[in-house]
Structure 1
């Protein structure tokens, strides 16, 4: 069977299960006695094993099976978690993630994990000590019980099912028969197994999974499963799959299980077993059942149909590009309609504008992704870093459901990793240092996200030793970043922000984790390229906070269109505080810099005509100046322009690789009249 059609589904679901395993292992490490967490971990591991085996990724399935053996002992209270077991399971998770990544890259998911398997086997055999594997040699591979080859179930499988029955779990024997006209028998069997894996645990299939994948069976196959749903419900779920002729589900007790295990005739065993009557479902009976269910409302929290689908990212990008082109034409139509002055045309264009505005909101929301998709990998990272540095650190995440454009989400991960690594390595003190300073031995790192206007703020704050202002100044002066005279005028926050200067570092020894300030210029460059900014505040002995400001979306924004002579420019509305008209006489000169009074403060004046060397506009000829007051964080500036055109929705276009690093310009847009307008980057104008 060609499984390529299912590969994308396998990759997506594998990543979901791996993330769930990571999250729940972290939870279990904080509460090792909570068996409910172990059950969640076991279910994710078991589902991943089944998916991997079905897709033919045997190394993935084998490693997951060995991890499953350890978890099974823990959930049955036969093994207590310790640091060595946690570390081994995390190593296994890392290996699984690497193997799935290999599959994504077109590989076979194979890897040498013999040392991890050996440690897992030693744990199962009780040969390990807390913190170290046993001195004995453990063999890599799956250990199976020898035994009863003559029956339908071997000794190990019989034991598992028997213990499940004794524990009160529901064990089912299922026979599925496909229709004679079924063409893709392997695909149908895969879909049946998908249902079974999602509702319980498959212990045995006949023929084996490998034969089912290669369609080496007639029309029927049987399965032993430990199910979390009733026989009726499971029969209905399986029969909802197309090209299923009949589904027979037989609940088993200890006696009927023993009969089947001994190799007796399956039909005879089913008839003689003193178990509840088997459940049979056909296409007709299933149809009737579904009809009755549709008439009655859901009760007692009954599950509803899944109303979400996975959409390929490239398709969303194509949708955004097509809508962007439509938006450009809409603006063009609005301009033409105003020139023609035909009422029915104006009304039609206005209606199209309203509809396209609603469509724009939907398209933008489709691209919005919770920052949790980035944040969810950080607890494990902080845990590993803290352990390697012998520190005690608690990571507190808030606002993980805050949404950002997918393009921003894709780019923000690395800068946040760098900020967190710096906080853990150079911000939080060692346990001894914290106790000596009168602090709790466990350091705290807060990672929070929240909306504010058209922006999202992400903060990384820790309660460590803070930034040494004196040391930062000395390093900045020695590197020529500031002069001694300039250094005397800087506030504490301005001193702290010097760590973002290119090549700046206060670290005496550069570690692989990186010291405070190493590469933070790269962080600022990346965030600035996204239309955002980053700042830092710190108090010595109390801690440091990094604040990252990001735009909600990078594709379509509201902007103010302005003129400078014959040229048109766009300024993002999110950066504009207000617009005004000032007299030339109100411009002051302070230490050689032009300033104006604004809201009980004095702010700098920026001349766009000087900055962009406009050939056909001169401020000297004007007694009054139209200005735009822009902001960058808590810094403001007044920008002198020639003329306001008005507000408009614009589509951001890249200037391409040949026009990079143009100061003050972040991109371009196409206007309704077909002209190209450059988009001014307010962050670059304010120093």
Structure 2
């Protein structure tokens, strides 16, 4: 906040000198030639003024009268009078009016600067304390305004909800009292009159009517305006005389009295709800995101230390097998690992908010839009308990409001039109939120009129966005996506709700800025569905990465960008690498993928054999290519440290980290590396294409059992492929386990669980198990199979009717072969049951 110095003089030339001589980056100089204007300004901005300088003799006022008029609300502001002469009598009057000094003309600005650096700085320290106190009040009270809005809307649907009315009154009373305590004047005065209206409702002097509800909402909006002004460093005080007139309306008319849909049950249910809330209410404090980011950084450092210590402990354990002290150390480190992982999880959770907090304002948006457009629309929300990162909540706060307003204005018809079309008079907008894989999915669906492809095409032609030939080649989904073009709108006229064509453009840009996508499905006459796919933000510092090396150099590849790892042997695998115009192309799974060597791009020496290559295929937003490395190591969580300013210009590196025994590794920026290697990137083309091909292809990890062939698991469930020695297995009862990546991995004999194998031998006496590590939620499980084949890709849907038992989802057609698809979730949820049955059988 920039504090002000007020200068008052009837001569404009003098005011110009003030502005020039007192100009400072720390303070703002505000000048007035009219005393009445100055008085009004000081009244509204007393909380941000550090000094007032005033001429003594002016045409309609003198300095004494000016000071006297502002004394009631500005007595603590240092006030200096500029005069050519003053005597003892004037000095006595100056003391009575708390005037700090008289300054003789001509003005000595060195003396003014001394006053500002002494008395002004004292005033500044007081104002800073007051500002902190007021902003703290605003931060703590702001959630009350959101709660008040919900209570008003509750009263609109249930006018006899006494508990809502009582809570409403209590919140207003709290705001009034607290704002007065922190030294504010206009907010307490305004809230007092606002409170009178709520008191009249409480006492039954007036009834809840549409007019009352509208006034309550207008009053709330004015309070929000004042809160926002203070929060953004604007005015602290306001002229509320005009604002208060809204409460002078006659509310005695019963023409628009609201009636509850179910008067008999509303009060009791509200009472129960209030009691339940009071029981579970917890004390909360506000914490800045900056503090949480610092905690996240410390958590990242802890992760690096944890990994280093665990590696050292494993070496000691191998070196001193059977040493009891080493075993105790390992057990202690295991516990430390659990605590640090829990700490990291909790810090991440602190950054999250409930979707319910994002849904709350939408009810008001729907209400106001319906009132403006004479429509009747119900809003239904699902997934309010889902918690998302604050960065995503900021995106959704704006995006959902624009999409909802767009749906109300363009999507859903007025009641008369809906009835003629055979629909319910009341429209419906549904919002669903859920997590799917590494993404947060938000679906906004309405049962309105849907999108008219021909109308969108006509508008695109009118705006010269595309030619007719280009539009004719586009799919319907691609046509729908044109509504996100800047300035694009099919509205016949601009309204307060929508029609300017800027809101949807902002929705797209805000979603794509966080790496998300928007998909649209619409059917004319039936409605539209917008699907927002937002990637769950990974930790700013902690990256799960694939460790690779080239020569003596270590590199990290973000695991989420690693598509596949390929070991290429020229003699065995044939000619799958082709030279094209000086570059290399990898032919893999029917695709041609650019292939580059890290050693060639970064000009470092490689130790790899030419007959055999380790290839990592990477894929992300706007790129897919393959890189050749010498060795592929393990997967680790690393902390990515920012590069120094001298290296920031190297786009192929995201940062650096320490691995192993303190060795340094560079974290590759795969998008920047692609540009460095002259691999063409086209994010927009891929984005647009996904509108057409969204969810059409499915990938499956194919394998055989010892007695059955042609089985598969959806690739999205697969984490890694492993081989484990049977001798390393441990058992709890009859359940097999193995120590895996600092955790315990249950090993499931899927063939036996599905009833394909009746052998009593554990894992058919195999010495080495081939295991597909799959995930369910945050847990991992090992599925034992006999022969892992390849990844199959198909556009066919799973046929669920062909399943012959629990644990098999159905079949799918891949490369002209019928493949059985395992129901991974069912097997995991039930893998203990056969073991329990065997125990019962043995007991019998």
Shorter-chain TM-score range: 0.5 to 0.7
Counterpart CA distance in 2 for 1:605 and 1:45 is 64
Q: Offset at 1:81?
A: 2.1
Mapped pair 1:30 → 2:157? yes
Q: How far does the alpha carbon of each residue in 1:514-546 deviate from its partner, in whole angstroms, 9 at most, with x for none?
A: 339645344233222223222222112222222
2:774 matches 1:647: no
Query: Whole-Å Cα distance in 2 between the matches of residues 5 and 471 of structure 1?
Result: 54
Residue in 1 aligned with 2:92? none
| In 1, Cα distance between equivalents of 2:396 and 2:281 | 34
C-alpha contact (below 8 Å) 1:530/1:554 kept by paired residues: no
Alignment of 1:84-483 (within 5 A): 84-106=211-233, 109-123=236-250, 126=252, 306=282, 308-330=284-306, 347=330, 353-476=337-460
CA distance in 2, matches of 1:35, 1:477: 57
1:47 aligns with 2:174: yes
- For residues 344-388 of structure 1, the C-alpha deviation after alignment (integer angstroms, 9 at most, x for no partner) is 699587765544323211211222221233322221122222222
Match runs of 1:42-81 below 5 Å: 42-81=169-208
Inter-partner Cα distance in structure 1 for 2:643 and 2:441? 27
Conserved? CA contact 2:640–2:667, under 8 Å:
no
In the TM superposition, residue 82 of structure 1 has moved relative to its aligned partner by: 2.1
The answer (yes or no) to whether the contact 1:332–1:671 under 8 Å persists in 2 is: no
Cα contact 2:511–2:534 (8 A) shared by 1: yes
Matched pairs, number? 508
Match of 1:173 in 2: none
Contact kept, 8 Å, 2:547 with 2:635, in 1: the verdict is no
What's the CA shift for 1:67?
A: 2.2
1:64-105 deviation line (CA, Å, top 9, x unaligned): 222222222223333122222212111110111122223324
**Residue of structure 2 in register with 1:251 after alignment:** none
Distance 1:662 1:476 in 2: 41
Contact preservation (8 Å) 1:627, 1:640: yes
Q: Which of 499, 504, 509 is the equivalent residue of 2:483?
A: 499
Q: CA, structure 1 residues 679+519, in 2 after alignment: closer, same or farther (shift >3 Å)?
A: farther
* 1:442-481 Cα distance to aligned partner (Å, 9 max, x none): 2222222112233221222222222222333455567676
Gaps of 5+ in 1: 132-227, 230-299, 589-593
| TM value normalised by structure 2 | 0.51
Query: Following the alignment from structure 1 to structure 2, what is the Cα–Cα distance between the partners of residues 386 and 662?
Result: 53
CA gap of 1:54–1:7, structure 2 versus 1, over 3 A, is same
Look up the match of 1:670.
Answer: 657
CA contact (8 A) 1:405 1:554 kept: no
Q: Is the 8 A contact 1:14 1:100 kept in 2?
A: no
Query: What's the TM-score, normalizing by structure 1?
Result: 0.61
Partner of 1:378, secondary structure, is helix
Q: Post-superposition shift, 1:21?
A: 0.6
Range that drifts further, 476-485 or 419-428: 476-485
Would the alpha carbon gap of residues 578 and 543 (structure 1) be closer, same or farther in structure 2, given more than 3 Å must change?
Answer: farther
Q: Cα–Cα, structure 1 residues 317 and 494, in superposed 2: closer, same or farther, change >3 Å?
A: same
Q: Does 2:665 match 1:538?
A: no
Cα distance in structure 2, aligned partners of 1:441 and 1:658: 65
Q: What 5-or-longer segments of structure 2 have no aligned partner?
A: 1-125, 258-273, 321-325, 579-584, 672-680, 688-844
Rg (Cα) greater in structure: 2
SS in 1 for 2:342: helix
Secondary structure at the aligned position of 2:664 is classed as coil
- Cα distance in 2 for residues equivalent to 1:435 and 1:305: 45
3-state SS, counterpart of residue 550 of structure 1: strand
User: What CA deviation, in whole Å up to 9, does each residue of 1:88-132 have, x standing for no partner?
Assistant: 1111101111222233245664223334422313346x489869x
Partners of 2:586 and 2:626 within 8 A in 1: no
